[in-house]
Amino acid sequence: MSDNNSYLQSLLSNEQKWQHSYEQPISYAPVVQLANNSWVVPQHFLRYKHTLNSVNEVLDSIEFSTHFRVLAAQKGDEIYLQVAVLSPDNYQKGVSQSDIKAKKLLFGRRWIVEENLPTSELIQTAFLALKVAREHEVRELFQYKHANHVSTPFNNHHDLPLMAQNPELINSDCNDTQAIADVVKRIVFAGKEIVLKSQNMITAEQYLYTVELLCQDSQLTEFNQKTIAFLTSDQTANSFLHALIAALVNASNEYVNEQFKYQGFARFSKHVTAEQIGALSIAMRSPSAIGLCSLGKQHANQLNFEIDSGRAPEGCGQAIGGFLAAHGIEQPENAHLYPGYL
């Protein structure tokens, strides 16, 4: 027996406890030796069985801002994640300094966690939930002055069905004659005005703007006295406003990329080398590195079938049939995954 096989038998022995109770290697799972001499079982050869306790165990290894907390809860058999946010009231008017320090406890939308969700995907679900929760805050912090009022045109609480039924009320280009300098004077972000630092035409269809945010005590600290540059496709006020909110959301997302950590590792940081991630992926997925035996292939194929076939949404076979028919497809190439469904 080779050293590799000896190590495999030792690592997967029934007498040894796997590192986590909620994930277990399939029978005849391969082990791969990495460039640093570590031996691992790639995640696509693991079975997962998450419980509320195991999800909380994973969440305990996540680090992020103290003002945002990812929680796990269960209703019936359904486990879900939800972000708790401690935030000042973004819509309160005429507040005193003491009121600014007062904070509300808010909860974001629910993110379902399937029992067989790979742990890596569970971590990424928490990551995405935090991004969405912060984007919600950013959109509410963007205010626009009208004659005697202030609005938040990019928040997520507008009545979308109403707008869809009355599109003529919001598709007008009447504001596009405004000078950008005048538009900037009407913008407030995180309670403070912003300043237009520069505007330059790059090409006939690209205009570069630089603005400075004057807020100093925003809970979203990446925006305090921040200078942001962004491109628009034309010089209209509407393009400017949409490009600015997109740049603000992007700045929030970049903050999450750098600050979100699992076991101290910032997976989505720009300091993680993309080429080396690719090399690591090849090391764990290439057939030559894995050397899967015939029995291992059978168990791996069965695992893949169970995961993929279990993804089909219940009661949607007719809708999926119509979806395929609209593309002129009677049966998709992987129809074998959905017996009795299509």
Distance in angstroms (rounded) separating the CA atoms of residues 206 and 225: 26
CB-based burial, 280-293: b 16+ in 10 Å, e otherwise: eeebbeeeeebebe
pLDDT at 17: 54
Q: Would you state the pLDDT for residue 269?
A: 97
Q: In what order do the strands lie in the sheet with 192-203?
A: 150-151, 142-145, 187-189, 192-203, 206-213, 227-232
How far, in Å, CA of 240 to CA of 200, rounded?
A: 13
74 vs 29: CA distance, rounded Å: 32
* Crossing angle between the packed helical segments 237-259 and 119-141, to the nearest 10 degrees: 140
Give the model confidence (pLDDT) of 228-239 as tens digits.
999 999 999 999
Q: What is the pLDDT of residue 102?
A: 80
- Answer with the residue of higher pLDDT: 221 or 339: 221
Q: What is the pLDDT of residues 85-126, one digit of tens each?
A: 998 876 666 444 445 568 899 999 999 999 999 999 999 999
How many Å apart are CA 264 and CA 54, to the nearest integer? 19
Report the pLDDT averaged over residues 45-53.
95
For tokens 């999926």, name the residue: 320
User: What Rg do the C-alpha atoms of the chain give, in angstroms?
Assistant: 26
Q: Give per-residue pLDDT as tens, 243-298.
A: 999 999 999 999 999 999 999 999 999 999 999 999 999 999 998 888 889 999 99
CB 61 within 8 A of CB 122: no
Please name which of 88, 125, 43, 60 lies closest in space to residue 220, comparing C-alpha atoms: 88
Cα–Cα distance, 132 to 124 (Å, whole number): 12
φ and ψ at 19, to 5 degrees? -60, -30
* CA dist list (Å): 163 to 151, 160, 169, 240, 336: 16, 5, 8, 22, 43
- Report, as an integer, the average pLDDT of 67-93: 90
Question: CA 262 to CA 266: how far, in whole Å?
Answer: 7
Lowest mean pLDDT among 134-138, 175-179, 198-202: 175-179
In the numeric block, the tokens 């209703």 are attached to 75
Q: Please, which residues bridge with residue 142 across strands?
A: 189
Q: Find how far residue 62's CA is from the centre of its chain.
A: 14
Tokens of 328: 């002129």
Helix segments in the chain, DSSP class H:
3-11, 52-59, 97-101, 119-141, 160-165, 180-185, 237-259, 274-285, 287-290, 294-309, 317-325
- pLDDT grade for 18, boundaries at 50, 70 and 90: low
User: Residues 6 or more apart from 61 whose CB is under 8 A from it?
Assistant: 262, 263
Token readout for 35 is: 């460039």
Looking at 29-38, 209-218, 221-230, 261-270, which range is the least confident one? 29-38
State mean pLDDT over 47-68.
95
Mean pLDDT, all residues of the chain: 90
As a whole-number percent, the residues of the chain with pLDDT over 70 amount to 89
Is the confidence at residue 127, as pLDDT, over 50? Answer: yes
Residue 98 is predicted with a pLDDT of: 46
Q: Is 212 helix (H, G, I), strand (E, B) or coil?
A: strand
SS3 state of residue 241: helix
Separation CA 238–CA 310 (nearest Å): 44
**Contact status, residue 198 vs residue 210, Cβ threshold 8 Å:** yes
Total residue length of the chain: 342
**Is pLDDT above 80 for 175?**
no
Give the model's pLDDT for residue 10. 56
Answer whether residue 170 shows pLDDT above 70: yes
